[in-house]
Amino acid sequence: MSAPRRRSALVFLVLLALAPGPVAADPLWREPLWLYPPGADAPFPALLTLPPGWLLGDAAVLVLPEGPEPGPFHHRVVEAMLAADAAVLELNPEAARGAMPGLPAVVPAVLRPVLAAAFLALRRDAGAGLMVAIGLGPAGEVALRAAEDSAEGVLPPLLSAAAALGGFGPARFQAGAAPPAAEQWPLRARLFCTLLAGLEGGAEARRRCEEVLLAPPAPLLAAWEP
């Protein structure tokens, strides 16, 4: 009786040794993306984070910080976008230096002058497809204005939508430049609104988001020129 039990135990141990161990999650890829705003004296370091499996042409989210020190809500937003398989570009020199020590301390007076450089860098250097922006706290107004400027041709027509979160009032939304039909914007806009509603505002925020982002796009008023 004991011999079969020993053989069974031996077989179990052999199978256990041969079984594959737990597969580690693919790490996030982080790197500084250098932006060169027109008229700037020095390049502006932004932090680009790519989720596992991100491919050229996939979506990207610009996150405009609420201040020099990213807080818990900032990290929640970034984590939610990465979990949705979007690349995240944080327009925050502090975040870039935190991930990549040794970067120079370059802090622009305002964020808006670097937005055009950010859009172009995401498209040309990172290979991003659909782009949206999220402004946190006081930066929310900058994000909304960027989407409006992108729709009007004041900025490169690459930003499809923006949201303002973490402010004193309810979440706000702004449609940007109409993306190509191949981007399946109605479907992806609803997914974006669902993500935003999970971060702030719930069902009511989702309703308002879809109402704004799925409205017929306005005609382009001007062609952007670098």
Question: Per-residue pLDDT tens for 44-91?
Answer: 778 899 999 999 999 999 998 887 777 899 999 999 999 999 999 998
Phi and psi angles of residue 164, each rounded to the nearest 5 degrees, phi first: -115, 115
Question: Per-residue pLDDT tens for 155-204?
Answer: 888 999 999 999 888 999 999 999 999 999 999 999 999 999 999 999 99
Topology at the third CATH level for domain 24-213: Rossmann fold (3.40.50)
pTM of the model as a whole: 0.79
β-sheet bridge partners, residue 137: none
Distance CA 161, CA 146 (A): 9
- Sequence spans of domains, the chain: 24-213
Question: Per-residue pLDDT tens for 118-157?
Answer: 988 899 889 999 999 999 998 899 899 999 999 988 888 8
Helix extents (H) in the chain: 2-18, 72-83, 93-99, 112-124, 140-152, 185-199, 202-213
